[in-house]
Every structure is written in structure tokens, then in C-alpha cells.
Amino acid sequence: MAQTELSYDIVIAGGGPAGLAAAVAARKNGTERILILERDTRIGGILLQCIHNGFGLHHFGEELTGPEYAGRFAAQVEELGIEYKTDTMVLEISPDKKVTAINTKDGLMVIQAKAVILAMGCRERTRGALVIPGSRPAGIFTAGSVQRFVNIDGYLPGKKVVILGSGDIGLIMARRLTLEGAEVKLVCELMPFSAGLTRNIVQCVENFNIPLKFSHTITQIHGKERVEGVTVSQVDKNRKPIPGTEEYVECDTLLLSVGLIPENELSKGCGVEIDSSTSGPVVNEHMQTSVEGIFACGNTVHVHDLVDFVTAESLRAGENAAKYVQGKRTAQPKHITLRPGNRVRYTVPQYIESTQSETPVSIMFRSTDVYRGVSIVIYSNDQRIKAVKKKIVRPGEMQVVSLSPEELAKIRDNVTVAVEIPEEDVE
């Protein structure tokens, strides 16, 4: 096969909201030769099938649908003359920033980049990731695939639906399927709390009187050719089914909304360090990974709840990739490690490159459980740098705390910063 050799300043893997925002930021910061590679037929990513509103409240200050939000960035990409290739699969990225990609028009391409931005997004967990006894009948879908069937292709996958998991896509599809005439029999969640946003629980489930059972899971799938029903059981504090609590629910469709996983095969291939908690690359405050000149942003780094947070993170990645290409950003030999403290699952970034910053540094994290009347505290060794009171924190909602340049200056080099929800502040 003939091979095409190309070179660009910045190559971006992924043309979803993260990749588009990063490209726009890089272009506005003075980098000309930018290429976006997108495997779908259009740029815009997952937002193109998210026809519900609720996007853009933070970034644009108004409520938009997913296609409208994606359309605004796609329009900026066109206006700025940023080059992109759709129907293009990135096969490999090397540590020296050589990108191998393929499509039907250009064939096999080897693209040498000065900087690479990883923006591949995330994928859904499938039934294979769960241990549910039963045969393999038709009618079992991930919530995202059903969203595409209904919103893009115009197909209704079933009439009587049970949803396992209370992630945002599952909650939104409970409402969508109801509006399309299906009967959503039940949403069951293994944990004692929802993995989705509070507004989605209220607007998509409670307002439509759809039953939502916490501490419940599916222990059996019935049906040979097509799903005929499921057995739902209550679970104990160790998430083990409690004998005698089994309940049979008749249905012809089972939706799985059991979590998202950052898409990081390409990241691992180019030697980027992966955080075991987020399943995404370890990054600093500039969104640079452990491989110099390779940046990452969006759901590739960690799963977000709001696309507005993805945009803010991606704009930062694009800006800093542009500075790197222009020689304005050099690696620092020292860095300050951020670690999750008490009742915190992970932090992003995982380390801060320098405490000398003219702009605030945002730290994003998720709590391990639902806590009320708490304080988010940042320590440097035993010194309390910052404390922010919160009425409630939930695992399904991203928490963000910013360190000002003055607060950063209080942190000494080579120390650990802990983001904590202290025991004594919990009611």
C-alpha cells in the first residue's frame, strides 16, 4: 500500500467537543498547521446524538442541545481554516509524535507532528464487563447505542425496557424512550446513590414517575431468542445480592448504563503513563502527559459530567500545545504531586509543574460517596492552603476547586497536595 508522508505542528486525535475546542484554542494562540483526525463521518463527536438540552450553561451562558453546542465549535473550526479529516482511523501514535492513520481517500498516512493532543473520548462498559447469569438473547444494548438508534437512525429498540445503572445517559434515555412510547419499567442502581446528575434524576425519572431502585442489580436475564424479562435483587453493603429479595420484571429490552471508560489504547501505545483511578493519562496543569509534547483532554483523561468542563480543559490543552510548539513551554525538572486525600477518588491534574503561575490552577475531582455539610480542603504537608465549604458533594457530580497564584506560591516544591473532605466536617 502506498504511504503518504505529512507534517503538521499539532495533530489532534478525535474531532469531538474536546478535539474541536483544543484545535480552536491552538489556532487562536498562533499555531497555523493543525490537523484534526476523526473516525466518524462528521466532526462533533457524541454530542451529535445528544439532542436534549442542558449543554452550554457554563461556557456559553445559555442552554443548548448537543448538536447546537458541537455546531458552534465546528463553525469556529471552519472559520479559522483548521484542517480536519473525517472517516479517518488513527492506528498508532509513537513517542516521537509520529501519527499513523488511514482512510479511503488518502490511504495510509504517516504524519509527523511537533505536538499531539489526545482527545479520543470514552466508551461504554458492555455486558462483557458484568457478571450477569443468563443466555445471550437479542435486546441487550448499551444506553449510548440506543441513543444513537433513536435520535439518529429513528429506530425504537423495544417496547418494555429495564435500565441497569443510573448514569446520565441511562437516565436521559429513560425519558427519551418514554416520550417515544416505550414503557420504562424500572431503573435499578447497584450503589446506594446515583452516578448521574441530580437534575437528570429529577427531570428524566422522577418527573415521569419511572421507578428508580438503589442498592438493586440484575441477577438473571431470561429469554432465548429475545429478552423476555430480568430478575432484580436487592444487594447488601458489600454489593452482594440478598437471597429472598428476587423480583421478576417482564421486559423485551435491557439497557446498560454501567459507566464509561476513557479510550486510551493510543495513549498506552505511545508510552503515556496511565492513572489507575481514572484509566486516563497522568497530566499536569497544562494538560501535558508524561511524554513531552503529547497533551490530553476531555473524556480521554477522565469521565466528565458536563461538556462545559471538557471545553475548559481542552482550551487549556490547545493553548499549551501551541506554546509548546512555539518553544514557549519547556519541561520543568521538578513537580508537585497531587494525591486524592480522605473521601476523594482521584484528582486531575495529578501533578503541578510549577508553583509560579500567573493564572489560577483548577483541580477537578470526584468524591467516593455522598457527603453533606463538608469542606473541601487542600493541604501542603500539614499546612492548610485552602478550604471551601460545600452543602453536598456526590460521586456523580464533578467538583472543581481553583488555586490562585497567591495560594500556589504558598506550596513548596516536592511536596504532596491532598484534596480532602475531612472526617470532622461530615455531619
Question: At 281, is the pLDDT very low, low, confident or very high (cuts 50, 70, 90)?
Answer: very high
Q: DSSP 3-state assignment of 89?
A: strand
Euclidean distance between CA atoms 231 and 261, whole angstroms: 27
- Which three cell numbers, joined as nine digits, stand for 413? 516544591
Q: DSSP 3-state assignment of 345?
A: strand
The tens digit of pLDDT for each residue in 29-72 reads 999 999 999 999 999 999 999 999 989 999 999 999 999 999 99
Inter-residue contact 205 to 168 (CB < 8 Å): no
Report which of 94, 40, 48 is spatially closest to residue 73, judged by C-alpha positions: 48
Task: Please tell me whether the overall predicted TM-score, pTM, comes out greater than 0.75 for this model.
Answer: yes
Euclidean distance between CA atoms 241 and 264, whole angstroms: 33
The tens digit of pLDDT for each residue in 191-214 reads 998 888 888 999 999 999 999 999
Of 30-44, 129-143, 356-370, 388-402, highest mean pLDDT: 30-44
Angle at 292 between CA 286 and CA 296, to 5 degrees: 50
Burial bucket for residue 3 (CB in 10 Å: 0-12, 13-18, 19+): exposed
Question: Residue 334 above 70 pLDDT?
Answer: no
Inter-residue contact 92 to 100 (CB < 8 Å): yes
| DSSP sequence for 353-366 | S-S--SS-EEEEEE
DSSP 4: E
Average pLDDT rounded to a whole number, residues 85-106 = 96
pLDDT value at residue 313: 96
pLDDT value at residue 427: 39
The tens digit of pLDDT for each residue in 286-326 reads 999 999 999 999 999 999 988 999 999 999 999 999 999 99
Starting from the edge strand earliest in sequence, which strands make up the sheet with 361-367, in order?
Answer: 344-348, 361-367, 399-403
Question: Residue 96 above 70 pLDDT?
Answer: yes
Question: At 426, is the pLDDT very low, low, confident or very high (cuts 50, 70, 90)?
Answer: very low
How many CB atoms lie under 10 A from the CB of residue 380?
Answer: 19
The tens digit of pLDDT for each residue in 375-420 reads 898 888 878 888 888 888 988 889 999 999 898 888 876 556 676 7
Average pLDDT rounded to a whole number, residues 242-259 = 95
| DSSP sequence for 113-148 | EEEEEE---EEE--GGGS---B---B-EEEHHHHHH
pLDDT value at residue 333: 56
Euclidean distance between CA atoms 111 and 113, whole angstroms: 6
Could you tell me where the beta strands, DSSP code E, fall in 224-357?
229-234, 247-250, 253-256, 260-262, 294-296, 336-340, 344-348, 351-352
Residue 393: strand pairing partners: 371
pLDDT value at residue 416: 67
- The continuous run of DSSP H or E covering 317 comes out as helix 307-325
Q: DSSP 3-state assignment of 75?
A: helix
- Which three cell numbers, joined as nine digits, stand for 288? 501535558
pLDDT value at residue 364: 93
Question: Residue 169 above 50 pLDDT?
Answer: yes
Cα→Cα distances 359→108, 184, 267, 319, 356, Å: 42, 48, 28, 13, 9
Question: At 1, is the pLDDT very low, low, confident or very high (cuts 50, 70, 90)?
Answer: low
How many CB atoms lie under 10 A from the CB of residue 93?
Answer: 25
Residue owning grid cell 509560579: 356
pLDDT value at residue 86: 97
96/329: higher pLDDT: 96
Euclidean distance between CA atoms 253 and 262, whole angstroms: 26
Tell me the CA end-to-end span of the chain in Å, nearest whole number.
66
128/402: higher pLDDT: 402
Question: Residue 356 above 60 pLDDT?
Answer: yes
Cα→Cα distances 264→85, 301, 311, Å: 20, 9, 19
Report which of 352, 379, 351, 348 is spatially closest to residue 365, judged by C-alpha positions: 348
- Which three cell numbers, joined as nine digits, stand for 204? 428524566
pLDDT value at residue 425: 45
Mean pLDDT, the chain, whole residue set: 91
Question: Residue 151 above 90 pLDDT?
Answer: yes
pLDDT value at residue 187: 96
The tens digit of pLDDT for each residue in 232-242 reads 999 999 999 99
